[in-house]
Amino acid sequence: MEGAIMALRRQKSNIVNIGFMVQTEDEKAGMTIDQTVLNGKSAVVSFRLVNGGRKSAAVKLDRNAIADLQEALTEILSVEGDF
């Protein structure tokens, strides 16, 4: 096979799925946060609300939206209260 061009290429992906569950003390309501890390970089982050046994559709947010969410939560938690 002199002069043949090799068309075989091996590609290996390292995929890690991380899931977080944030819920009320009685475990009846909350939200899930799921992240897919592909080859060491965050690929997708999605959020779902949970109410009883029902889950909402997944909402995927980009990095800027998640940073805004972090800022909003920090502001909310800076005010004392029983909420």
Instruction: Examine residue 62 and state whether it is found in any structural domain, yes or no.
Output: yes
pLDDT at 10: 84
Q: Which pLDDT band holds residue 1 (cuts at 50, 70, 90)?
A: low
Instruction: Examine residue 8 and state whether it is found in any structural domain, yes or no.
Output: no
- String of b and e for 12-45 (b: at least 16 CB within 10 Å)? eeeeeeeeeeeeeeeeeeebbebeeeeeeeeeeb
Give 42's contacts (C-beta < 8 A, 6+ positions apart): 35, 36, 63
Average pLDDT of the residues of the chain:
92
Q: Please state the rounded mean pLDDT for residues 29-33.
A: 97
The residue written with tokens 């779902």 in the block is 48
Instruction: Examine residue 54 and state whether it is found in any structural domain, yes or no.
Output: yes
**Closest by CA position to 30, among listed 21, 39, 38:** 21
Please tell me the pTM assigned to this model.
0.76
pLDDT at 34: 98
Instruction: Examine residue 10 and state whether it is found in any structural domain, yes or no.
Output: no
